[in-house]
């Protein structure tokens, strides 16, 4: 029985750390959860769309958590220009641009109409030239008034599958643009990513990847029905979808890697009868959550690929960028997920699987 | 434009009024919501399974709301015997027996294994002989570990459809037993009820009916995702299912009639991040909620059938049973659904569509 695994420089390629006091609270949990490199989402209010703000945001995070390495992103919207994208890339200020369809999740009101990306093609072209990554929140907004047979309806359960043609079109139109379908949740999405990559010969040729969260490896619709702690966007789907996600995560395919989409909300934004905020907080135990799944699947040997190598390679992270070269050592030690974690100034967050037991812990080892 | 409609003696054939102080609070809202006759659910803790308790429960309700007429039910479980069913029926103490699959909703732990009703066949035979109604909560419990292709999985979205073969088998085995598929939510269920009744020549020959709630005429999965106020069992499903329900409600078919499944929970049981109680409270505006839908469908002429005649006929309610012969008069008058209603002793309930405007009100007229 394996009792200790060196995961190397781990990465979580989809992280929300917000700003202000919430940011001060959750940013240190990146390292506590066993993650070294974090790709930071730009959906602040207002969204991060200027060079000055993204640089300042990164500095703030580095001050809070000096041993963590932060990769940064812009928020795709009308504020961006190709010139700005070139400038930000040349200065190494951003590694990608996040695209939110308008209105589908937390702070996405300024987002994009996913039925027509053409207005943003000059931006995407600049990104392709700069080898920046397009991070897609892959959901179509809901449509409630389709044809009688329901074939035109879009709702939270088919919103991702409905988006997949748009993903394929983007890849077709920008074949050298690196694209990530973020926090994918459906068997249909997994099949699409496999299909796009089916003729890939060299790992360096992978252009379209998907991140998979910790919580979507556990949850199905039944888990968030009546449990707002598990409500997120995209929502967790059917058992067959969860099985497809687990299978993809442990597949060893380099186009599936870890991104928690950890999204902290104060408890009061989750424990309410209307307007629950979408998001699961999994940062503080990110690696232990997924280690449990990989162990259950008898695939602990695939964890380092999923939680380190594949993401670092896709993002082309260089050793010189790392603020710490410490390696994450997974070791077998039970821990119980706290029911609530509380910041010094009183912010309460209910973490994913609050109250459940996990079999693994993480420590850091200097290289 | 119709401004006033006489709905006659209205009925809501699926009502939860609980017991204790909650019962005192919500029982009067039956009449306030425009309903004269209410069929009362037996899922108290412990469930209602004795003659003495059902008689006492009915007396309690009649004391609280003297002008309301209460039809009563037993809870199907091992405590019942054919002898008890015969005795309760002969005394007019119950009009039906409610069947809950174990574990699918509020206070259903003592329920039935819906994969095998055979243990209860002697009870069902006694019910058939007494012309009592079998009220089915038609959901299979979830199964998370089905075949690779998902064909064996059961979850909150297909739990009702998965139950329909059991409904058909019960009807086959007890062709003269009156059965109601309660609070049906899916196009598949609607189609099954139509199909079972397709050769019916006389309305008296209808043996299998379905109730439809107010909230399922409004809600889809997107509405309860993130809004525990709208979370109920069975959950609201896809837009095409909602359209099928609306179409059935306004169809004028005598085998679809009104049952709110109004299920009060204290606000604290809805506004929480884990373990939200299933149930929507629609009692206090029951008729105005559905009037709005019927008006939108240009089918106000079908409302009296749905909300009065079909239910009273299926339950064979006689004028002598009525504690009030007052007729419900629907009239056009805007009202805003309160955000919260509060009892004298401080119980708070968030009603369905809290804060929304409704176009109709109800008053009572002596016959």
Reported as half-sphere exposure (CB side, CA atoms, 13 A), residue A107 has a value of 18
pLDDT beyond 70 at A367: yes
pLDDT band at A116 (very low <50, low <70, confident <90, very high): confident
pLDDT band at A118 (very low <50, low <70, confident <90, very high): very high
Query: Does any domain span residue A2?
Result: no
A274/chain B closest Cα distance in angstroms: 4
Q: Is B338 on the interface with A (CB under 8 A)?
A: no
Rounded mean pLDDT, B294-308: 98
CATH code, domain with A241: 3.20.20.140
- Give contacts of A142 with chain B, Cβ < 8 Å: 222
Interface size A-B, in CB pairs within 8 Å, comes to 113
For residue B154, give the chain A residue with the closest CA. Answer: A239
Q: Is B340 on the interface with A (CB under 8 A)?
A: no
Rounded mean pLDDT, B136-162: 89
Q: Is B145 on the interface with A (CB under 8 A)?
A: yes
Contacts (Cβ under 8 Å, ≥6 apart) of B293 = B214, B217, B218, B246, B249, B250
Give CA separation, A26 vs A23, A188, A320, A343, B367, in Å.
Answer: 5, 33, 25, 9, 66
Indicate yes or no: CB of B224 within 8 angstroms of CB of A224: no
| SS3 of A92-125 | CCCCEEEECECCCCCCCCCCECCCCCHHHHHHHH
Task: Say which of B153, B156, B229 has its CB closest to residue A240.
Answer: B153
> Cα separation of A51 and A70, whole Å?
15
Q: Which of A139, A186, A239 to mutate to test the interface with B (most CBs of B within 10 A)?
A: A239
pLDDT beyond 80 at A146: no
Task: Say which of B238, B276, B350 has its CB closest to residue A155.
Answer: B238
- Give contacts of A219 with chain B, Cβ < 8 Å: none
Give CA separation, A183 vs A135, B31, B239, in Å.
Answer: 10, 49, 25
What pLDDT, on a 0 to 100 scale, did the predictor assign at position A341?
98
ipTM score assigned to the predicted complex:
0.95
> Cα separation of B31 and B40, whole Å?
14
List residues bridging with A88 in a β-sheet. none
What pLDDT, on a 0 to 100 scale, did the predictor assign at position A243?
97
pLDDT band at A111 (very low <50, low <70, confident <90, very high): confident
Rounded mean pLDDT, B312-321: 97
- Give contacts of A340 with chain B, Cβ < 8 Å: none
pLDDT beyond 80 at B42: yes
How many independent structural domains does chain B possess? 1
DSSP codes joined into one string, A219-249: --HHHHTT-GGG--SSPP--HHHHHHHHHHH
What pLDDT, on a 0 to 100 scale, did the predictor assign at position A5?
97
- Give contacts of B238 with chain A, Cβ < 8 Å: 150, 153, 155, 157
What pLDDT, on a 0 to 100 scale, did the predictor assign at position B89?
98
Indicate yes or no: CB of A231 within 8 angstroms of CB of B225: yes
What pLDDT, on a 0 to 100 scale, did the predictor assign at position B247?
98
Indicate yes or no: CB of A228 within 8 angstroms of CB of B225: no
Indicate yes or no: CB of A235 within 8 angstroms of CB of B225: yes
Indicate yes or no: CB of A272 within 8 angstroms of CB of B276: no
Task: Say which of A157, A239, A271 has its CB closest to residue B221.
Answer: A157
> Cα separation of A219 and A183, whole Å?
13
Where in the sequence is the domain holding B219, given as residue range(s)? 10-327
In the numeric block, the tokens 């009744």 are attached to: B197
What pLDDT, on a 0 to 100 scale, did the predictor assign at position A162?
96
Give CA separation, B304 vs B190, B312, B333, in Å.
Answer: 20, 11, 18
Task: Compute the CA torsion angle A245, A246, A247, A251 (nearest 10 deg).
Answer: 100
Give CA separation, B350 vs A91, B140, B282, in Å.
Answer: 53, 29, 9
pLDDT band at A290 (very low <50, low <70, confident <90, very high): very high
Query: Does any domain span residue A288?
Result: yes
pLDDT beyond 80 at A106: no
Over residues A148-198, the pLDDT tens digits come to 777 889 999 999 999 999 999 999 999 999 999 999 999 999 999 999 999
Least confident of A114-128, A138-152, A225-239, B198-212: A138-152
Over residues B335-350, the pLDDT tens digits come to 999 999 999 999 999 9
For residue B242, give the chain A residue with the closest CA. Answer: A144
Strands (E), chain B: 4-8, 11-15, 37-40, 69-71, 73-75, 96-99, 133-136, 178-181, 208-212, 256-258, 327-336, 341-342, 348-349, 357-365
pLDDT band at A1 (very low <50, low <70, confident <90, very high): low
> Cα separation of A74 and A50, whole Å?
8
Q: Which of B149, B225, B237, B278 to mutate to test the interface with A (most CBs of A within 10 A)?
A: B225
What pLDDT, on a 0 to 100 scale, did the predictor assign at position A95?
98
What percentage of chain A's residues is helix, strand, coil (to nearest 5)?
Answer: 35, 20, 45
* Percent share of chain A, pLDDT over 90: 92
Residue among B59, B56, B71, B57 at smallest CA distance from B18: B57
pLDDT beyond 90 at A108: no
Q: Is B142 on the interface with A (CB under 8 A)?
A: yes
Contacts (Cβ under 8 Å, ≥6 apart) of B202 = none
Indicate yes or no: CB of B222 within 8 angstroms of CB of A274: no
Residue among B256, B332, B245, B257 at smallest CA distance from B292: B332
For residue A278, give the chain B residue with the closest CA. Answer: B226
Over residues B239-287, the pLDDT tens digits come to 999 999 999 999 999 999 999 999 999 999 999 999 999 999 999 999 9
Beta pairing class for B37-40 and B69-71: parallel
- Give contacts of A186 with chain B, Cβ < 8 Å: none
Residue among B183, B182, B173 at smallest CA distance from B120: B173
pLDDT band at A347 (very low <50, low <70, confident <90, very high): very high
> Cα separation of A276 and B273, whole Å?
9
Residue among B286, B337, B351 at smallest CA distance from B33: B286
What pLDDT, on a 0 to 100 scale, did the predictor assign at position B108?
77
Indicate yes or no: CB of B350 within 8 angstroms of CB of A274: yes
Give CA separation, B90 vs A61, B87, B130, B145, in Å.
Answer: 75, 5, 8, 46
Rounded mean pLDDT, B142-165: 89
3-state secondary structure of A208: strand
For residue B353, give the chain A residue with the closest CA. Answer: A274
Average pLDDT, chain B: 96
Cis bond leading into A5, ω under 30°?
Answer: no
Taking phi over 0 as left and psi of -120 to 50 as alpha, with beta for the rest, A226 belongs to left
> Cα separation of B78 and B123, whole Å?
10
Task: Say which of B148, B273, B354 has its CB closest to residue A228.
Answer: B273
Size of chain B in residues: 367
Taking phi over 0 as left and psi of -120 to 50 as alpha, with beta for the rest, A327 belongs to beta
What pLDDT, on a 0 to 100 scale, did the predictor assign at position B1?
67
Indicate yes or no: CB of B271 within 8 angstroms of CB of A275: no
Q: Which of B223, B226, B338 to mutate to test the interface with A (most CBs of A within 10 A)?
A: B226
Contacts (Cβ under 8 Å, ≥6 apart) of B106 = B16, B43, B233, B263, B265, B277, B278, B279
- Give contacts of A237 with chain B, Cβ < 8 Å: none
> Cα separation of B367 and B364, whole Å?
9
Rounded mean pLDDT, A88-110: 89
* Cβ under 8 Å to B: A residues 218-247: 220-222, 224-229, 231, 235, 238-240, 243
Residue A52: both structure tokens together = 């000055």
What pLDDT, on a 0 to 100 scale, did the predictor assign at position A183?
98
DSSP codes joined into one string, B184-207: ---HHHHHHHHHHTTT--SGGG--
Contacts (Cβ under 8 Å, ≥6 apart) of B301 = none
Q: Give the CA angle between residues B178, B182, B183 to the nearest 5°.
A: 155
Contacts (Cβ under 8 Å, ≥6 apart) of A361 = A288, A330, A331, A332, A333, A335
pLDDT beyond 90 at A206: yes
> Cα separation of A170 and A161, whole Å?
15
Over residues B189-220, the pLDDT tens digits come to 999 999 999 999 999 999 999 999 999 999 99
Query: Does any domain span residue A34?
Result: yes
Query: Does any domain span residue A340?
Result: no
What pLDDT, on a 0 to 100 scale, did the predictor assign at position B158?
97
For residue A272, give the chain B residue with the closest CA. Answer: B271
Over residues A35-66, the pLDDT tens digits come to 999 999 999 999 999 999 999 999 999 999 99
What pLDDT, on a 0 to 100 scale, did the predictor assign at position A261?
98
Query: Does any domain span residue A62?
Result: yes
Backbone torsions φ then ψ of A189, nearest 5 degrees: -65, -45
Over residues B52-103, the pLDDT tens digits come to 999 999 999 999 999 999 999 999 999 999 999 999 999 999 999 999 988 7
CA A55, A86, A10, A300 torsion-angle sign:
positive
Burial of B67 (0-12, 13-18, 19+ CB in 10 A): middle
Q: Is B270 on the interface with A (CB under 8 A)?
A: yes
CA R_g for chain B: 19
What pLDDT, on a 0 to 100 scale, did the predictor assign at position B274?
98
- Give contacts of B273 with chain A, Cβ < 8 Å: 227-229, 267, 270-271, 350
Query: Does any domain span residue B320?
Result: yes
């Amino acid at each position: 029985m394996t009792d200790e695994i060196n995961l190397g420089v781990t990465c979580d390629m989809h992280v929300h750390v917000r700003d202000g006091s919430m940011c001060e609270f959750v940013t240190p949990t990146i390292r506590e959860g066993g993650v070294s490199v974090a790709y930071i989402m730009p959906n602040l209010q207002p969204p991060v769309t200027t060079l000055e703000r993204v640089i300042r945001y990164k500095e703030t995070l580095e001050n809070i958590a000096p041993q963590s390495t932060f990769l940064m992103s812009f928020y795709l919207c009308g504020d961006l220009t190709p010139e700005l994208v070139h400038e930000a890339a040349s200065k190494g200020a951003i590694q990608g641009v996040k695209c939110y369809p308008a209105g589908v999740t937390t702070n996405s009101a300024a987002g994009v109409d996913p039925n027509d990306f053409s207005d943003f093609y000059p931006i995407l072209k600049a990104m392709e030239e700069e080898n920046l990554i397009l991070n897609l929140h892959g959901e179509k907004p809901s449509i409630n008034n389709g044809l009688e047979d329901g074939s035109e309806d879009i709702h939270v359960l088919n919103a991702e599958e409905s988006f997949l043609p748009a993903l394929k079109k983007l890849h077709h139109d920008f074949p050298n643009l690196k694209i990530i379908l973020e926090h994918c949740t459906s068997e249909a999405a997994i099949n699409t990513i496999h299909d796009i990559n089916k003729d890939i010969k060299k790992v360096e040729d992978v252009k379209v990847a998907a991140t998979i969260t910790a919580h979507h490896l556990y949850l199905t619709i039944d888990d968030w029905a009546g449990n707002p702690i598990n409500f997120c966007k995209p929502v967790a789907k059917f058992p067959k979808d969860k099985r497809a996600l687990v299978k993809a995560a442990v597949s060893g395919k380099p186009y599936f890697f870890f991104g928690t989409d950890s999204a902290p909300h104060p408890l009061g934004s989750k424990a309410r009868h209307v307007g629950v905020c979408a998001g699961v907080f999994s940062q503080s135990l990110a690696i232990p959550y997924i280690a449990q799944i990989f162990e259950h699947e008898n695939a602990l040997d695939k964890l380092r690929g999923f939680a380190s190598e594949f993401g670092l390679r896709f993002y082309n992270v260089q050793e010189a960028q790392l603020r710490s070269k410490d390696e994450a050592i997974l070791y077998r030690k039970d821990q119980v997920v706290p029911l609530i974690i509380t910041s010094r100034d009183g912010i309460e967050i209910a973490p994913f699987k609050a109250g459940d037991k996990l079999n693994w812990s993480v420590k850091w080892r200097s290289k």
